[in-house]
Amino acid sequence: MTAELTRMTAAEMASAIAAGQVSAVEVTQAHLDAIAAVDGRVHAFLHVSAEIALAAASAVDARRAAGQPLGPLAGVPIAVKDVFTTADMPTTCGSRILDGWQPPYESTVTRRLREAGAVILGKTNMDEFAMGSSTENSAFGPSRNPWDLTRVPGGSSGGSAAAVAAFEAPLGTGTDTGGSIRQPAAVCGIVGMKPTYGGSSRYGVVAFASSLDTPGPLARTVLDAALLHEAMSGHDPCDSTSIDAPVPPVVAAAQQADVEGMRIGVVTELGGEGYQPGVLARFGEAVELLESLGAKIIEVSCPHFGYALPAYYLIAPSECSSNLARFDAMRYGLRCGDDGTRSAEEVMSLTRGEGFGAEVKRRIILGTYALSSGYYDAYYGKAQQVRTLVTRDFDTAFGQVDVLISPSTPTTAFRIGERADDPMAMYLADLCTIPSDLAGNAALSVPCGLAPDDGLPVGLQIMAPVLGDDRAYRVGAAVEAALRERWGHPLLDEAPELTADGMGAAGARSTK
């Protein structure tokens, strides 16, 4: 029964619960059992709260029994990235400096999910303070990709992506600052959406880069992602950057699945040399598929996209240098060396030295340098000018086409440890995703097959204009439906159950 319930989509679970075919408690227990069975190998979760989850599920069952209406996600379990503050569970951001911290307040996103009746299973692993592309930067050890346990699940939302791909949860929340939802979604073979910046509240999301951080959904189907997107989004007066506008009709778009007559632009700068042949092969097939569905394919040049990555790695570290200054051992979190003989400055230095990992320190140092007197205009100022040029590229492109497409990532999942000592190689994992973060527009990653050279998932990125999130869902749903019709099953049906030895070798799976 556990396997049967965990293989349902979120939409199917909610429908079955509302109809009384299964209880929310049964669905929640099935996922808690799945976590107990496989998470020792996947390490998607940092904290599992069975009692809280079962109590929330029981409340949903009581509402149904009383004849009260249930929302579209009532009773559906969800895995929450450990960057969202939760008043009843620890929030660590994958960092030793916050180990065991219990927030005194709830993030807007998790509050809205609870109000919608979603059942929070626990908090998922992540790169420390969302800084990374592999979840190897977590102070609590790396998560593993369920498709191949020797490989990374991407990052920084790798724990949520791995939980969804391993059927430990049907839904997950993530945050996207430079690709931290779309990149793990792509390498784990699931759906991940970066909404328009300001479309989902950042209140209660521990800040990395405030002008970039965007909460969004992870799911196994486009419709499930849209349902979660709608539930977690909307204007929030607690967030000064929140857009006071209706949530785009993402659920309706996900149910439309029609690209007839749409103009779809292929970004010429996001492909070619440096991209894995298997990724390019599947992307090329996705382009042909969209054309066969009635879309008009147009090649589009975005000449400044090539400068997006270096600009991002000046802007984001500069903002993190400012945001992480609050972790000073004085108010909350870790405190080292406070033996009564040291000054406050010494305690701060010792705490930050021991509490932060190497990648966080690297970005704080880089950002502090870029903001320093004499270098601000040369580095941070120039990076912001490049950001404007990237935004203008998008504006020009969306004057010609409805959406833009590219691979979500240049490669499939790389092996754990393979890029750990090479920060530049790690940063290149976000080559395709960073432009949309700089510009603030919406972007979705959907599975488009398994790479023929290694049998691992490949993602198709669909970029839409600001507040055009529904366009991305419309195209993503069409791709998903066409691939299901062509293959006779969703992509993730290719993934075998986790066994004592982990999932089967990638090369042994079908690569169609």
Residues marked as catalytic: 81, 156, 180
C-beta atoms surrounding 18 within 10 Å? 18
SS (H, E, C) 51-93: HHHHHHHHHHHHHHHCCCCCCCCCCCEEEEECCECCCCCCCCC
CA dihedral 28, 163, 225, 190 (to 10 degrees): -140
Token pair for 215: 């909460």
For 216-248, letters b (16+ CB in 10 Å) and e give: bbbbbbbbbbbbbbbbbbbebeebeebbeeebb
Q: What are phi and psi of 402, to 5 degrees?
A: -85, -40
Q: What sign for the dihedral angle of Cα 232, 190, 399, 251?
A: negative
- Starting at the edge strand found earlier in the chain, the sheet holding 45-48 runs 45-48, 119-124, 77-81, 171-176, 214-219, 191-194, 442-450, 457-464, 403-407, 263-267, 296-300
Tokens of 392: 């203008």
Cα separation, 193 vs 181, in Å, equals: 7
State how far the Cα of 259 lies from the Cα of 54, in Å rounded to an integer. 41
Burial of 21 (0-12, 13-18, 19+ CB in 10 A): exposed
* C-alpha distances in Å from residue 426, one per residue of 73, 79, 175, 386: 35, 25, 18, 22
Find the farthest-apart pair of alpha carbons in the chain and give their distance in angstroms, rounded: 73
**What count of residues does the chain have?**
512
Please check whether residue 474 is in contact with residue 256, taking contact to mean a CB–CB distance below 8 angstroms.
Answer: yes
The tokens for 98 are 């916050």
Q: CA 350 to CA 131: how far, in whole Å?
A: 21
Count other Cβ atoms within 10 Å, centred on residue 417. 12
Question: 107, 70, 65: which is closest to 86 by C-alpha?
Answer: 107
Rounded-to-integer distance, Cα 43 and Cα 141, Å: 8
